[in-house]
Amino acid sequence: MKARLPLAGSVARLPLAVSAVLVVVPLLVAVFGPFVHLEAAPGLPYSSQGVLGTDGLGRDVLQLLLSGGRTALGMAFGAVLIAYIVGGLIGLTAASTRHRWLDEALIRPLDVLLPLPSLLVISVVAVGWRASALAITFAVAMVNVPTVARLVRAAALDAASSPVVEALRMQRESWFGIHLGYVGRAVLGPVAADIGTRITLAVFLVASVNFLGLGLSPTAPDWAVSVSRNREGLLLQPWAVLAPAFMLVSFTLGFNLLADRLVHRSRRLVEVAR
Amino acid sequence: MRSYAAQRAALALVQLAVLSVLVFVLTALLPGDAAEMRFTETLTPERISRMRTQLGLDQPALERFGHWFGNVLTGDLGTSLISGGPVADIIRHSVGATLVLTLATLAVVVPLAVVLGIVMGTRENGRLDRAITSVTLALSAIPDFVIAVLLVAVFSLKLGWLPATWVGGDLLASPALLILPVAVLFGRTVCLLSRQVRAGTISALQAEYVVQARRLGVPRRQLLLRHVLPNAAVPGVQELARTGDTLLGGVLVVEAIFAIPGFATALVDGVETRDVPVVQGLTLVLAVAALVINLAADLVCNRLVPRTELLR
């Protein structure tokens, strides 16, 4: 291995700070933005009135930006949360059951659903529950359940069959001690790495659905909807598109970078453990 | 080998059966139907109920499913509630543009991703590897539609170099129509794919048989092409099948932005007008395509590295 320059440490730490800022800014806007009310009167379409100008409907872009994060990020977070509650339960049950038929009955149906293109499922759901944030969130969650369940099952089985569990059993450690204390904690590593990538994917999916007009109504302040609606006016008033687009990209980029570090760390931990 | 193929094909058949039921159930259980959608202006209860009888929407769901499934088996996908034309025609007219778009993207993406993946994998953690990794990581974090909107703004609106839509354009007359859409689709797929090839290359290079082959003095080029590549390709091929999903999402977005009269446009239109037979037909075709791609990917992987087991 090459010798490290003294600067290398601080340079290596730079991306962490950068990616943290990239994630935190849109996150703060999404969480606290809806509570901020600017006194912006509706103006002309695509005018430069106000800090970031107005959009195609004459609404203040900054105000839209502040209230648009709740759906853009909230729906994705909600979907991943639901996916992990449902998928995690299926995966853990399948991994911990002593009955093989139960394991098969839980996991086999997921194999059938796995190759379904996600936007297809969502567009079918969108036929009936137009403009419902809840329905889209559930659809995005359901698309993620098969992968989550399989991942959790594999991680739990991997941990449960390790010599450590054997040793704990020999020491007459309690069932809860083994399963929650060791297996549960061992599952957390791969799960954390997976959540990182899954949230970015969910943000993508929710944004694409909303951009296509399959999700929220076309006047919603959502970031993706804003990009879609104002794209004809991009040259007249770039901020109406660029500001919400920047928020989305900043979040996914920062989250990707953080998730990548996490994957590397958990992989290194696995290697050390071996 | 043969038994693996048979098992895998049997799984695909089961998947197909379950999927067709699922497609029907999802579309049949939806609240509201085309009869309501058509007469939003002149909405009288008599007209709606007459419409329902005409469209067969008043029959029980099970009966409708039997009818639909029987027709599907004979290749009849029904007729559109909106245009009145056969769904098969809609599929036939829209499949061309989507196929051209997808194949053109893959023709660019696959060779590039394999080369990039091997370049990165053979220089693990080197300067070049890290540079390409950061670029692909950053690129893959930008949503398709953001890239599309920006590219259109710069190259067609500002500079006027490339056409912004397919409206009134003919693909054969001006292949330039393909450049921007393919550029949009290319970004994320190449990132996802090259990362998998990279990971495959790294793990293949560390495998004992490669170390042994190197010890025996197998030339580097032969080592890479004969021993590393087939193993490195496995995660790549599997990812390619999964890329179908990403690609389809991208195709939906790209077709919407560039007004391409393809599959995705037909699907979005069908969803908007609640044209259930069209949505059913398109969904079924896409689901079958996804199944076939996954089946093919698994068989190819099994051929490359005959050790994958389907059933434990």
Q: What is the 3 state secondary structure string of chain A?
A: CCCCCCCHHHHHHHHHHHHHHHHHHHHHHHHHHHHCCCCCCCCCCCCCCCCCCECCCCCEHHHHHHHHHHHHHHHHHHHHHHHHHHHHHHHHHHHHCCCHHHHHHHHHHHHHHCCCCHHHHHHHHHHHCCCCHHHHHHHHHHHHHHHHHHHHHHHHHHHHCCHHHHHHHHCCCCHHHHHHHHHHHHHHHHHHHHHHHHHHHHHHHHHHHHHCCCCCCCCCCCHHHHHHHCHHHCCCCCHHHHHHHHHHHHHHHHHHHHHHHHHHHHHHHHHHHC
Domain definitions of chain A by residue range: 17-68+221-250, 73-216
Q: Is B309 helix (H, G, I), strand (E, B) or coil?
A: coil
Instruction: Give the separation between CA B258 and CA B254, rounded to whole angstroms.
Output: 6
Of A208, A231, A257, the CB nearest to B149: A231
CATH superfamily, with its number, for domain A73-216: MetI-like (1.10.3720.10)
- In the DSSP assignment, the letter for residue B226 is I
Shortest CA distance to A273 belongs to which of A189, A216, A154?
A189
Task: Look up residue B39 and give its two tokens.
Answer: 């007469």
More confident residue, A198 or B294: A198
Q: Would the ipTM clear 0.95, i.e. be above it?
A: no
Looking at the structure of chain B, the number of domains it has is 1
Residue span of the structural domain in which B213 resides: 95-274
- What b/e sequence results for B214-226 when a residue is b if at least 16 CB atoms lie within 10 Å of its CB, and e otherwise? eeeeeeeeebbee
Q: Nearest-CA distance from A246 to chain B in Å?
A: 9
Q: In the predicted model, what is the mean pLDDT of residues B252-279?
A: 78
pLDDT in tens, A58-98: 677 777 788 887 888 888 889 999 988 898 888 888 877 77
For residue B233, the domain's CATH number is: 1.10.3720.10
Hey, what are B86's tokens? Answer: 């056969």
- pLDDT at residue A82 in the model: 92
Residues 6+ apart with CB under 8 A from B96: B262
Q: Is the alpha carbon torsion for B13, B18, B21, B27 positive or negative?
A: negative
The reply to whether A192 touches chain B by the CB within 8 Å rule is: no
User: Which tokens belong to A135?
Assistant: 């329905």
How far is the C-alpha of A50 from the C-alpha of A84, rounded, in Å?
42
Is B61 within a domain?
A: no
Residue B99 falls within a domain, yes or no?
Answer: yes
Q: Are A127 and B274 a contacting pair at CB < 8 A?
A: yes
Closest residue of chain A to B247, computed from CA coordinates? A117
Query: Hey, which residues 147-186 in chain B have their CB within 8 Å of chain A?
Result: 149-150, 152-153, 157-158
Q: Is the pLDDT of residue B174 over 60?
A: yes
In percent, how much of chain B has pLDDT > 70?
74
Residue B193 placed within a domain = yes
Across-strand partners of A54? A60
How close B153 comes to chain A (CA, Å)? 7
Residue type, B56: G
Domain membership of residue B5 (yes or no) is: no
Residue A168 touches partner B, C-beta closer than 8 Å: no
Cβ <8 Å between B137 and A256 = yes
Residue A227 CA, chain-centre distance (Å), reads 20
Place of tokens 């009888």: B53
Q: Is the pLDDT of residue A205 over 80?
A: yes
**Within a domain: residue B251?**
yes
Among A45-59, A140-154, B190-204, whose mean pLDDT is lowest?
A45-59
Interface mutation target, options B22, B146, B239, chain A, most CBs of A under 10 Å: B146
Q: What is the pLDDT of residues A102-157, one digit of tens each?
A: 777 777 777 767 666 777 777 777 766 666 788 888 888 888 888 888 888 888 87
Higher local confidence (pLDDT), B282 or B237: B282
In chain B, what are the helix, strand and coil shares in percent, each to the nearest 5?
75, 0, 25
Task: Report the distance separating Cα B178 and Cα A60, nearest Å.
Answer: 36
| Chain B residues touching residue A227 (CB < 8 angstroms) | 145-146, 149
